Structure 1
Amino acid sequence: MKIKTLAIAVALTALPTLSLASGCNYGKEQQAMSCAAGSEYDSATKTCLPVST
């Protein structure tokens, strides 16, 4: 009975640590830049500029 209780206690202690380890990429995802119609993304200035034809 003590071994079973100890195993459950260890599992409950380790689970939050394992779940935090899988979330280390928080805020590091890259999202595609989208501009309004009639403008395009300029990578040099990192802004949307109007398209001149």
Structure 2
Amino acid sequence: MTIKTFLTATVLAVAPGLAFAACSGHKEATMTCADGMVYDSATQSCTLASG
């Protein structure tokens, strides 16, 4: 096995773990609206609050 093949195999073996580590620990994003507005999940936008 040549060094180039060994390095390629090592990178391919480690890459998924690094990708997972980069994405772990993030919280889900939440939508915030201005005062007097509420988030409407049906239209996925902020609309005027009624009431």
What TM-score, normalized to structure 1? 0.51
Q: What is the match of residue 38 of structure 1?
A: 49
Could you say which structure has the larger radius of gyration?
1
Give unpaired runs (5+ residues) of structure 1: 40-49
What TM-score, normalized to structure 2? 0.53
Give unpaired runs (5+ residues) of structure 2: 39-46
Q: Matches of residues 1-53 of structure 1 in structure 2 within 5 Å?
A: 2-24=2-24, 25=26, 28-34=27-33, 35=38, 37-39=48-50, 50=51
Divergent runs of 4+, >4 A: none
Aligned length: 38
Matches of 2:19 and 2:10 in 1, distance apart? 15
Secondary structure of the structure 2 residue equivalent to 1:22: helix
Write the letter of the residue equivalent to 2:31.
Answer: A
